[in-house]
């Protein structure tokens, strides 16, 4: 199985150095694609130097801070163009444990996409302030009610997609970011009837760097779920 790990970055130089080392130590046969939004801290330059020495590492450097969702879309297009079987999406800040990748690759043999879920078998989140935890938990509850998806962690960012799921979605029409992007991708895959698994993971809040969460991201998610529901009702979902 040819697998690609996609990692969006913006000012993650300290985290990405260690993360890439850990992933390649654990999984020598995996490839890594970093999609960097022109980080001022030199993240892209570091990855470029690595990619010139190691054929398993790739870089897409973008012109500016264009957002998480569009970064993943570019990563998915790269994955499809270069004939990978699966794409694993994850954060650069170690909130997603690289040791879970082996479980994703095993589970994807029987499913079409895997969701690393923080809200299966209780709440599995470490070091989040209670306000952030409640926001995330109720955002997922709200998403389930409006969209009708039974997914407990529709906003989680640690996922594994099979090629056929990404081929079936018109990636050019995916423009959302943050929470919204995760919900939109899940909803489109769910509505197409693909088989998914919510696999329990433990999410650990970042130690270095700063969160990219903002009020704009939350507002986008609030309205997107209604947009998705309406499109689905009227047969306009692509």
pTM value is 0.94
Average pLDDT over every residue of 50-74 = 96
Q: Specify the pLDDT at position 178.
A: 75
Average pLDDT over every residue of 8-13 = 96
Q: Specify the pLDDT at position 236.
A: 77
34 band by pLDDT with thresholds 50, 70 and 90: very high
Instruction: Evaluate if residue 217 carries a pLDDT over 80.
Output: no
Burial 210-230 (b: 16+ CB within 10 A, else e): eebeeeebeebbeebbebbbe
Q: How far apart are CA 32 and CA 165, in angstroms?
A: 20
Q: Specify the pLDDT at position 215.
A: 66
List the CATH code of the domain at 3-233.
3.90.550.10
Domain ranges of the chain: 3-233
């Amino acid at each position: 199985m040819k697998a690609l790990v996609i990692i969006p970055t913006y000012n993650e130089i300290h985290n990405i150095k260690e993360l890439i080392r850990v992933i390649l130590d654990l999984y020598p046969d995996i490839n890594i694609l970093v999609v960097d939004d022109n980080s001022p801290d030199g993240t892209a330059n570091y990855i470029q130097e690595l990619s010139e020495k190691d054929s398993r590492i790739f870089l897409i450097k973008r012109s500016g801070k264009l957002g998480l969702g569009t970064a993943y879309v570019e990563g998915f297009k790269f994955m499809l163009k270069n004939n990978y079987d699966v794409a694993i999406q994850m954060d650069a800040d170690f909130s997603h444990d690289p040791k879970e990748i082996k479980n994703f690759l095993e589970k994807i043999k029987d499913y079409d996409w895997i969701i690393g879920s923080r809200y299966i078998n209780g709440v599995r989140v470490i070091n989040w302030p209670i306000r952030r935890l409640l926001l995330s938990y109720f955002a997922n509850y709200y998403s389930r009610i409006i969209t009708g998806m039974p997914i407990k962690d529709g906003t989680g960012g640690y996922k594994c997609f099979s090629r056929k799921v990404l081929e079936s979605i018109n990636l050019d029409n995916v423009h959302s970011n943050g929470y919204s992007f995760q919900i939109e991708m899940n909803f489109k895959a769910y509505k197409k009837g693909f088989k998914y698994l919510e696999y329990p993971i433990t999410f650990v809040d970042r130690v270095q760097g700063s969160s990219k969460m903002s009020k704009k991201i939350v507002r986008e998610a609030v309205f997107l779920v209604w947009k998705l529901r309406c499109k689905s009702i009227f047969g306009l979902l692509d």
